[in-house]
Amino acid sequence: MKAVVTAKEMKMIDTFTIQNLGIPSLVLMERAALSMADHMTACLPPQTRILCICGAGNNGGDGVALARIMYCRGYDSAIFMAGDPEKWTEETKKQIQIARNTGVPEYNRLDMDAFDVLVDGIFGIGLTSRVRPPFDEWIEKMNAWRSGKKNRQIWAVDIASGLSSDTGQVLGCAVKADVTVTFGYKKRGMILYPGRDYSGRCYVEDIGFPQKALDMNPTEGFTYDVQNFEQLPERKNDSNKGSYGKILVIAGSRNMSGAAYFSAYAAYASGAGLVKILTCEANRIILQSQLPQAMLSVWEDITEDGYKELTEWADAVVIGPGIGTDPDMAKRIEAILPIIKCPLILDADGLNLLSSHKEWYKKLPESVIITPHMGEMSRLTGIPIDVLKADRAQKAKDFACEHNLICVLKDSSTVVSDGKKVYFNQTGNHGMATGGSGDVLTGIIAAIASVGKDTFHAACAGVFLHGMGGDWAAGAQSSRGMTCVDIIHGICQVMKKMEN
């Protein structure tokens, strides 16, 4: 688990490190520049010509220090100071003095054609307003320069200038970086789209913020790393099929058997011991042929008295994939919700029904995970999709807090919140924009939640594993041609790799 920070959180960690722990700001700045110089030295041949475009703040000071270090390593490195000299911070003034003493060339005019690499050190993580002239013109020139000839690169210091470090939104215009070297912790805006596209390849460098600084200034956001992912439940040799969760999947309707199949199949692939599908009679033969290991019940054979027996059997319940929204289904779901005592994963048509039956919020069980995509979230909240996308983490957190549930807000950059913490997912790819992918996710989450895993971390782990399965499928099948079944196969491969 790794921290993901907002600009405010990063500033608090930075200030605590300097003021309370006594590590000088110039030391952190020098370490930041050294870490970035090491990456550049490893990637760029000695004849590379580098221009560091530096603003007045400490981000610019990092850029000046980088220019000097690369110059001292034999690179043709130079500086262009952007902005008002009267606004230079004390640290930036000091770095400029050192660079001038060292003999680093300094340009008074932004002439980029003579260079192979530009370093963006204009704005840091504190930018919150729209980029103003002349900075917007310089940023547009940098992007045009980058696309004008092959092999040109832009490296961003800490964050690409023009991005909101909290939301990933472009504040008027933003530098399109090929590489970003960020310091201390990853910023939210580098994970969320469109910021992820503008950040290029990202490196997170430890420049000396002690663990105590993070402990004293904890962050709301976190992410998982492939190398240290240990969220899947343990399995023991002395066990049986009842040891690994019993899942009730309420899914499917006439001509919609696939949703039930994908969700139930994914649950098995994610480690569930037993799965029972509750669906309509029309799906009986189809599902028993496709997934014979799953038990099956049909609405036509069950009275309301039988609902309690089904829900008491389950360790986790999925409601929604492909069930439809007709009045009869609404009555069935309304009758089932109050008697569920285990974790509930509410998805798809379950969410569509919830959006038109607001009184159901009071009937939901104690542990609820909802998995809306942006359209479903818009129906639940009444907030337009573009507004949701502009600050998805905060919107998910607010909704989870308001309704005391866990919100998995699905999109190109999925976030999960319990109303207090926010998980930022970094796995997955555009090939997962395919029918049935969401149904697969519900099955994965249910499998993890059914074995006693904390529901919030079960949701986070499920999203992570879902994306990992998608990444495997993209590699095996291509992102254009993959299907949700390929994602399920990918999940099995990923878990095999984790076990090994």
Helix, strand, or coil (residue 163): strand
- The reported pTM is 0.95
**How many alpha carbons lie under 13 Å from residue 52 in its C-beta half-sphere?**
33
* CATH 3.40.1190.20 domain residues, the chain: 241-499
Interatomic CA distance for residues 195 and 193, integer angstroms: 5
pLDDT score, position 31: 98
**Widest pairwise Cα distance in the chain:** 86
Nearest to 196 by CA among 157, 163, 158: 163
pLDDT score, position 228: 54
Q: Assign residue 488 a region (left: φ > 0; alpha: ψ between -120 and 50; beta: otherwise).
A: alpha
pLDDT score, position 244: 87
Interatomic CA distance for residues 81 and 347, integer angstroms: 52
Interatomic CA distance for residues 371 and 460, integer angstroms: 11
**pLDDT tens, residue by residue, 2-47:** 999 999 999 999 999 999 999 999 999 999 999 999 999 999 999 9
Interatomic CA distance for residues 298 and 388, integer angstroms: 37
Pairing of strands 406-409, 415-417: antiparallel
**pLDDT tens, residue by residue, 334-364:** 999 999 999 999 999 999 999 999 999 999 9
In CATH terms, is domain 241-499 a member of 3.30.465.10? no
Facing residues of 446 across strands? none
Run of H or E residues at 416: strand 415-417
Q: Which residues of the chain have pLDDT under 70?
A: 227-233
pLDDT score, position 83: 81
pLDDT score, position 453: 76
Class of domain 24-219: alpha beta
* CATH 3.40.50.10260 domain residues, the chain: 24-219
Interatomic CA distance for residues 284 and 277, integer angstroms: 10
Burial class (CB within 10 angstroms; exposed 0-12, middle 13-18, buried 19+) of 323: buried
Q: What is the DSSP letter of 172?
A: S
pLDDT score, position 497: 83
pLDDT score, position 438: 97
Q: 30: Cβ–Cβ under 8 A, 6 or more apart, which residues? A: 65
Q: What is the DSSP letter of 16?
A: I
pLDDT score, position 231: 60
pLDDT score, position 230: 60
